[in-house]
A and B are shown apart, each in its own frame.
Chain A
Amino acid sequence: MHLALTPRRRLRQHYSQTYDTLSSALDDALAARADAGVATLAYDPEDGMPELGVAPSPLTPAALTTQLATIERALREHNGIMIDSLWVIGGPETVPFGVMPNPMRDRDGPILSDSAYGMANAQDLLTHWPVGRTPDSGADNHPSLTHLLSLTAKAHRAGPQPQGLALGISTARWAAVSTEVFAAAGEPAENVLLAPPLRAGMIDRQRLAEARRIYCNLHGVTGSAAWYGQSPDDSELIPALRPADLAGLQLDRTVVITQACFGARLSTTNGEQSMAMALLNAGATLIGTVGISYGAPDPPASESDLLALQLLIALRQPGQRLGVAVREAHAAVLRDLLRRQGRLDNDDTKTLLEFVLYGDPALPV
């Protein structure tokens, strides 16, 4: 059974005059899911599930996690039903990210991630079920969530799509690691664009539009919405991809894997929407982090490089659901690390907990 966390009470408060339009879009997305054979149990945490004996819960990370554990137990014990995925509707102002201790001493604060809602933690790094979120950027961007739900409904109705090409965009500094990842994933190295020479405003939009998987190994920053490239000599960071580069593009069913720090940030910067929101509004789904992410400056690949590799592989598996592919990628990284190292380092732990999926986890890849 797929769960949909639909905080209608809170959405009504946030969206007020446009709530009816939003609600219709949500109902349509749920109907499209049902038509696609995705059996879904939608619930508002603030109502609970009285039929299962699950009490209402406030929309706080700890309470939501506790309630999910109760739901899981109730479904399993009463009906012998397992949770196949959790789809969260709304941005972090509506449904906050889970909060987990940050094992890295990097001043990044706690890990903000939906992994907690899949019952993952530092001792048990693999979610018990896939989690995906369809977000918005905040209360000042009302049309976005309605639009994203409409895209979700359209995607379910379209069904599985042909696999298609992968495109890589990497800093020139990390070219060796990026091409190693791409090659290990069975993708041609000539499909990795390097920044520089690539700069913001220069990307071949046709190549973006044709790609089904886009792998971004770029820098993320504060104070700008762009993702940044870097020269091979480790010198300054230069904008490589901006939200404006995506204007008018249709990236339906494209999955973007971004290793950029703050790559999953949703809020605007200096009035400019984030790369994550720009990609989502263009129809893509996105896998990235809210905080600082890590990888190797030079081969061999490590941390988020390894996760990106496994994501590129998992997202090519025909008949797979998006959330399952993401979870399989995490599992593959864990198996590899545990076979090689026997243990997990702090940066491995942070990497495996912090990546979030923006998109309906029940969508076919």
Chain B
Amino acid sequence: MHKYQTYARSRTPGRNEHHGPARRDSSELAAARQVAARFVAARWPTLAEVEPEVTRQHDGRQPCHDLIARLGMAENELGHHARSATYTFTFTSQRKTADGAMAPLVAAVTVDLQRRIVKTSLSK
């Protein structure tokens, strides 16, 4: 598994340019990653040494207008996305069953910029 990647940068900053946004992204990501890693290690030791894949979700996937219409919803029924941008850390491994089969073990932990865990999904 390759090391985590950031997706926030649109270009590499030049020598004399302000480095603020990129550096902030890196520190935000590192802090979020630490929260996720601790959470996962405490619950699923198998995943403690796993490097997670990282996805930055600004606001999740926006539904198309046709879908909203076919659901019989109005645009103003959509929930307000109060939470800030988040990072989802996906830790992937396997674990052996009692009889020697292999079960996927995937934990996807979403952390916001306030370092709160907003969602945890686990493979079945």
Contact = CB atoms under 8 A, between A and B. Distances in A.
Interface stretch (B8-16, B25-33, B70-78): B70-78
Place the interface of chain A in its size category. 35 or more
Contacts of A51: none
Contacts of B99: 224, 238-239
Place the interface of chain B in its size category. 35 or more
Contacts of B95: 237
Contacts of B43: 234, 297
A218 B53 CA distance: 26
16 contacts: A104-B108, A107-B92, A217-B124, A218-B124, A224-B101, A261-B104, A292-B106, A292-B123, A293-B124, A294-B108, A295-B121, A334-B63, A338-B63, A339-B73, A346-B88, A347-B119
B61 interface: yes
A340 B60 CA distance: 13
Contacts of B120: 296-297
B78 to A, nearest CB: 4
Contact of B102 (A223, A343, A344): A223
Interface in B20-69: 43-44, 53-55, 57, 59-64, 66-68
B3 interface: no
Consensus secondary structure, chain B interface? mixed
B88 to A, nearest CB: 7
B58 to A, nearest CB: 9
A87 interface: no
Contacts, number: 159
B92 to A, nearest CB: 5
B5 to A, nearest CB: 10
Contacts of B102: 221-223
A343 B81 contact: yes
Interface string A324-365: 000000010011001111111111110000000000000000
A345 B100 CA distance: 33
B34 to A, nearest CB: 19
A260 B79 CA distance: 30
Contacts of A224: 97, 99, 101
A165 B44 CA distance: 36
Q: Give the most central of B53, B55, B123, B124: most A CB within 10 Å.
A: B124
Interface in A172-217: 217
Nearest to A305: B124
A341 B79 contact: yes
Given A234-B43, A338-B77, A343-B59, A261 B64 contact: no
Interface in A94-134: 103-108, 122-126, 128
Given A126-B67, A261-B123, A294-B124, A339 B77 contact: yes
A126 B123 contact: no
A293 B68 CA distance: 25
Given A226-B101, A339-B73, 12 more contacts: A126-B67, A221-B103, A222-B103, A224-B99, A236-B98, A238-B98, A261-B123, A297-B122, A338-B71, A341-B81, A342-B78, A345-B88
Contacts of B78: 338-339, 342
B80 interface: yes
A344 B60 contact: yes
Nearest to B68: A338
A345 B119 contact: yes
Contacts of A345: 57, 60-61, 88, 110, 119
A217 B104 CA distance: 15
A229 to B, nearest CB: 10
B71 A335 contact: yes
Contact of A123 (B44, B64, B71, B100): B64
Contacts of A238: 97-99
A34 B55 CA distance: 49
A259 interface: yes
Contact of B103 (A105, A228, A331, A344): A228
B121 A302 contact: yes
Given A334-B71, A345-B88, A345-B110, A122 B61 contact: yes
Q: Give the most central of A105, A220, A224, A304: most B CB within 10 Å.
A: A105
B67 A334 contact: yes
Contacts of B100: 223
Interface string A281-323: 0000000000011111100001110000000000000000000
A344 B123 contact: no
